[in-house]
Amino acid sequence: MSESAQPANPVTFPPAFLWGAATSAYQIEGAVREGGRTPSIWDTFSHTPGRTAGGEHGDIAVDHYHRYREDVALMAELGLSAYRFSISWSRVQPTGRGPAVQVGLDFYRRLVDELLERGIKPAVTLYHWDLPQELEDAGGWPERDTALRFAEYAQIVGEALGDRVEQWITLNEPWCSAFLGYGSGVHAPGRTDPEASLRAAHHLNLAHGLGTSALRSVMPARNSVALSLNSSVVRPLSPQDPADLAAVRKIDDLANGVFHGPTLHGAYPESLFTATEPITDWSYVLDGDLQAINQPLDALGLNYYTPALVSATDADASGPRADGHGASDHSPWPGADDVAFHQTPGERTEMGWTIDPTGLHELIMRYTREAPGLPLYITENGAAYDDKPDPDGRVHDPERIAYLEKHLAAVRRAITDGADVRGYYLWSLMDNFEWAYGYEKRFGAVYVDYATLTRTPKSSALWYGQAARTGSLPSLPTD
């Protein structure tokens, strides 16, 4: 496929806007037993029968650990200006305690150097769900000590890479870590305890605050420290129904307020305490915790895929939840058994998620109001489709191009409306291990043949690369 032509009136972005792609360690690296790395909760979870589609795991994933130079060269060829990746905690600090293993840090040093040599700005995420298994065995995120261990780990990585990496993200989507990992059990470690999920949320917040302080204690002042939230855009089924509006508030507290409340404002929503009172007394929030969490941020990362549509329902209502977060008999929404989720109308991706770029615009503008003056980055946005090579080996994915065009246009509208959005990280650079879905769902702009690990840029990678090089959105392809 040839590159798309420029439209007569292109949608252009600010000159300094970062055009990036994102990945995470367990999803791409492989090499799970090399260089002293010890198991994470995702190693354990994915090797537990029945936890992942087809029993698939990340032992090899897409072998980025050995192929990182090839992958960085591909990013440069596409014209990306930034790359967001995560550090495997148990690769650099096996078991989550004690001194760093230099061979583990050396991998990330080499990766960063390769990116800088190619003119690509590295953005480091310290935690993308892969807690060292030994910390989980000691209680995991529901225990305060895990937050203290995270601060030590943050300092180790900050000391090693802070001279060359300017963009830092403490946690990716702590909602998933807390509520899918400890509530519904569809993510590692697979626990199903509502109180544990709320305890985990608080200690993830504390880890962010302590980790931010630890990073700043060892890095140059120029470096930026952020947090990436998968904040939900929650809408009522019936906008005029007070019960549905109350349902929105309850889910908004559990999806958003539980994290941005203490992080941005130094307090949890009182309505969150009220809704979860039958589950927990929140006595694990100790004096000084909120001050520790409420560190000034240099930026905020927003991950967006689809909005949520909710209504009030009977507390004893049964049946599957249409919340898009996997199938489980246990809810990831503690204290919200009286809320029903509904499928939003419209075209869907392979994940079953409705395509609605208005939600991305709404999310950006919300945080523009929520935290005025705070720079924003879209740290994840993308779509899974059933991509297959044609007889010539090319991979055409016009649906993904249309998805990206609509969502990037929504970002540009938000900038026009006064939002300070400074970059966009496509999820994902390449097809990879998609957590409990195994290798079934392909989010990548680059196609990976899992038998040979050959990388092939899809049509969307070429389209997005042209956007990155020109700073404007190309026309949609006609072939």
Catalytically active residues are 173, 380
Secondary structure class of 453 (helix, strand, coil): coil
User: Which residues have C-beta within 8 Å of that of residue 39, sequence separation ≥ 6?
Assistant: 32, 90, 132, 133
User: Which residues have C-beta within 8 Å of that of residue 369, sequence separation ≥ 6?
Assistant: none
- Quote the CA–CA distance of 448 and 64 in Å, as a whole number: 11
DSSP 146-185: HHHHHHHHHHHHHHHHTTT--EEEEEE-HHIIIIIIIII-
- Quote the CA–CA distance of 185 and 197 in Å, as a whole number: 10
CB count in 10 Å sphere of residue 237:
18
The tokens describing 96, both together, are: 């989550």
Secondary structure class of 51 (helix, strand, coil): coil
Structural contact between residues 67 and 13, judged by C-beta atoms closer than 8 angstroms: no
By C-alpha distance, which of 96, 99, 110 is closest to 138?
96
Strands 308-312 and 299-303: unpaired
